[in-house]
Structure 1
Amino acid sequence: MEINHTIEKNLLNAIQNNRLSHTYMFEGDALETLRRYSTFFTLNIFGDTPRNRALMKEGNHPDFYYLGTEETTIKKEEVARLMHVMNNKPTETEYKVYVIEAFDKLTPQAENSLLKFLEEPPEKTIALLLTVDKSNILPTIHSRAQHIFIRGDSSDRLKELEYLSEDDLQTIDALSLNAGHVKDMGEDFSKLRQAALEFSVKWMNRHSLVLLEIKPMLEWCDERRDYLLLLQLIDGCVRQAMHSKLKLDIFKPYNEDLKVDRMISVNQLTKMLDEIEQANKMIQFNVHPMLAFEGLVIISKG
C-alpha cells in the first residue's frame, strides 16, 4: 500500500537523520500489520544485520522486549518486568527497544506505573506502543507519544474474520473497519451492517417512517465505539450512492443494490455526509446516541 510505503520511508529517515523519539504509538485497524511494522522499525534501529535478524527471529535479542498477551488485560506486574529489563544498558546495539502489543489492554494501574517511565525513559530506550483502540488510553500517555497511523493490509484485516459473509468482508475491507472491533462484535456485526444498510437507504430516499428504524438499529450497539462504527457504515452507504450518481464504480463497500431515488442529488448526499460528521462529534462528546441519530433525520428533513 502506498501509504504504508510512505510510513516505512519516514521511519527510516528518522533513524538515518538521528531524529528518533522516545515513544511511538502505532495506531491502526489490524494488529498483525502493526506487529510487522514494529519489527521492521526495531530491526532497522538496531541495524539490519544477519546477527540482529537471527536474534530477533529467535526471540533472543538482549536489547529487545516484546510484551503481548492473549488475556483481556495487561497487568502492572507484567509492565514492572518490562521496566526492569529496560533499565539495563544495551549490550548488542546502541539502543534498547520495547514493544507493547495491544496497549489498550493495560489496566489503569499498569498505565500509571508506566507513565513515569515514559516521562523519564532510560537513555537510548525507545518504546513502540501498538493499539487498534486508542480511545481509553490515558491522555498523558498520548501526549508523550509520536502517533503514527498505519492502515492495515487487507489480508491482515480479514484473516481472523473468515466466519463472516463475503458481503460483510467486502464492507470491512472497503471501509477499512477496525478488524479487532468487528471480531469482538462477532455475528452481531452482520446484523449491525444490515440495519445500517436498511436505515441508510430509507434515509436517503426520505422515507416517512425512517425515524422508526433508529431504535432497533441502536439495539445492536453496546458501547460508544459501536455507535461510531455504525456511523462509519452509514457514511459508507451514502458515499457509495454518491459515487454511483457520479458514475464512479471505484468505491463499493456494499454489494447490495442501494436503490436510491434518481431525484436525490449529489448536493443532498453531500449534506448528509456533513450531518454524519456532526453526529460523530456528538457521540464523541457523549451526547445520547438516540439524539445524535435522530438529528441526522430531522436536520435532513428540515
Structure 2
Amino acid sequence: MDINQTTEENLLNAIHNNRLSHTYMFEGDTLETLRRYSMFFALNIFGDTARNRALLEEGNHPDFYYLSTEETTIKKEEVAHLMHAMNNKPTETEYKVYVIEAFEKLTPQAENSLLKFLEEPPEKTIALLLTIDKSNILPTIHSRAQHVFIKGDSADRMKELGDLSEGDLQTIDVLSLNAAHIKELGEDFSRLRNAALEFSVKWINRHPLVLLDIKPMLDMCSERRDHLLLLQLIDGGVRQAMHSKLNLDIFKPYKEELKVDKMISVNHLTKMLEEIEQANKMIQFNVHPTLAFEGMVINSKG
C-alpha cells in the first residue's frame, strides 16, 4: 500500500475514533503535497460536507486559519494575530483548525511565543505545522507534536523543478529529495549530483585514491543540509549498485550505468550503507563533515 494512502487512513481513523491530537507536524520533501494533505485533514476534521468544502476552497471558513508568507521569515506579530483568531470559539463546526506553512520560517521570537499556545491550546483547537526542514525547529515544539511523514507526490515535485535535466529529475524523484532545497541550490545541484555519483562508483570499486575526492566534493556544500543531501545521493548510488548485483531493476535513482567490479559483494555494499547511516548521524551531531566522510570510507574497508 502507498505510504500516503496509509497516512490518509491513519488521519481519518484518528477523527472517527475521536483520538485527535492538538498538534500535528506534517513533514515532507514537497510543500505543495503538504498543503494538500493539510486541507484534506482540515476538511475531514470539520466534516466533509459541501458547505465546509466550499468555505475552505473560497478561503472563508470561520473556523480555519492558514498562515503562510512569501517572505523568508514568519514574524511574532503574524503568530500573535493567528493566536488571537484561534482564541475565539468555533462557529461553523465543533473544531477550530490552523495551519502554519513552512514552519521552519518562524523567527525565534515567533516560535517562543507560539510555544505557550501549543502547551495550553484552547479547547477543540488543532494545529497543523507544515515543514520541509525540521532541523532547526525547537525540540520542545517537536515534543508536543504528533509527527506525520508525507512523501511528496511526483507531480508536485516535478512542477517545482521543471527546469532540471531528465537525469537530475529522475534522481530527485526516486530518492524523494527535498524539492525546495534543490530549487535553492539551482545549477549547483547538478554538480553535486555528478560528484556524488563519481565518488560512489570509486568508493564501491575500492579505488585507492577515493579519499582525495572528499574535499572537492564537500567544498560544493555550504551548510549542514547540503552535507546530508550529499549522503542521500551517495546512499542512492550504493543502493542502485546493490539492486544491480541482485539482478533487480526496481530502484534506479541514476540514469547512468554504475559499473561495479564483479568481485564486489553484497555484504560489502551492505557495510557501506551502514557507514553512510553512521556518517549521517555524525553530521546531525555537528561532527566535522570531513571527519564523518573520511571515517565512512575508512571504516567500510573493515
Say yes or no: TM over 0.5: yes
1:77 match: 77
Q: Which string of whole-angstrom CA distances, capped at 9 and with x for unpartnered residues, describes residues 90-114 of structure 1?
A: 0111110000000000000000000
Q: Secondary structure at the match of 1:13?
A: helix
Identical-residue share of aligned pairs (%): 84
Q: Which string of whole-angstrom CA distances, capped at 9 and with x for unpartnered residues, describes residues 138-194 of structure 1?
A: 000001101100111111122111111100000011111111111111111100000
Q: Secondary structure at the match of 2:134?
A: coil
- Aligned partners of 1:178, 1:75: CA distance in 2, in Å? 24
Match status 1:278 vs 2:295:
no
- Aligned partners of 1:84, 1:7: CA distance in 2, in Å? 31
1:209 match: 209
- Aligned partners of 1:114, 1:210: CA distance in 2, in Å? 48
Q: Secondary structure at the match of 1:231?
A: helix
Match status 1:183 vs 2:183:
yes
Q: Secondary structure at the match of 1:135?
A: helix
1:109 match: 109
Q: Secondary structure at the match of 1:275?
A: helix
- Aligned partners of 2:249, 2:217: CA distance in 1, in Å? 28
2:240 match: 240
Q: Secondary structure at the match of 2:298?
A: helix
Q: Secondary structure at the match of 2:259?
A: coil
- Aligned partners of 1:2, 1:300: CA distance in 2, in Å? 33
1:256 match: 256
Give the deviation of 1:220 after TM superposition.
Answer: 1.1
- Aligned partners of 1:65, 1:20: CA distance in 2, in Å? 18
Q: CA RMSD in A?
A: 0.9
1:129 match: 129
Q: Which string of whole-angstrom CA distances, capped at 9 and with x for unpartnered residues, describes residues 241-272 of structure 1?
A: 01001000111000111111111111111111
Give the deviation of 1:301 after TM superposition.
Answer: 3.3
Which amino acid in the other structure matches residue 219 of structure 2? Answer: E
1:154 match: 154
- Aligned partners of 2:301, 2:52: CA distance in 1, in Å? 62
Which amino acid in the other structure matches residue 218 of structure 1? Answer: L
Q: Secondary structure at the match of 1:90?
A: coil
Q: Secondary structure at the match of 1:189?
A: helix
- Aligned partners of 2:50, 2:80: CA distance in 1, in Å? 31
- Aligned partners of 2:143, 2:299: CA distance in 1, in Å? 36
1:96 match: 96
Q: Secondary structure at the match of 2:147?
A: strand
Q: Secondary structure at the match of 2:114?
A: helix
- Aligned partners of 1:164, 1:95: CA distance in 2, in Å? 43
- Aligned partners of 1:2, 1:57: CA distance in 2, in Å? 26
Q: Which string of whole-angstrom CA distances, capped at 9 and with x for unpartnered residues, describes residues 83-132 of structure 1?
A: 01000000111110000000000000000000000000011110000001
Which amino acid in the other structure matches residue 200 of structure 1? Answer: S
1:18 match: 18
- Aligned partners of 2:33, 2:160: CA distance in 1, in Å? 13
Match status 1:225 vs 2:230:
no
- Aligned partners of 1:298, 1:25: CA distance in 2, in Å? 38
TM-score by length of 2: 0.98
- The aligned length equals 302
1:48 match: 48
Q: Which string of whole-angstrom CA distances, capped at 9 and with x for unpartnered residues, describes residues 49-95 of structure 1?
A: 11111111110110000000111110000000000100000011111
Which amino acid in the other structure matches residue 86 of structure 1? Answer: M
- Aligned partners of 1:246, 1:7: CA distance in 2, in Å? 31
Q: Secondary structure at the match of 1:177?
A: coil
2:35 match: 35
- Aligned partners of 1:36, 1:133: CA distance in 2, in Å? 18
Give the deviation of 1:300 after TM superposition.
Answer: 2.6
Q: Which runs of 5+ in 2 are unaligned?
A: none
Q: Which runs of 5+ in 1 are unaligned?
A: none
- Aligned partners of 2:280, 2:9: CA distance in 1, in Å? 33
Which amino acid in the other structure matches residue 106 of structure 1? Answer: L
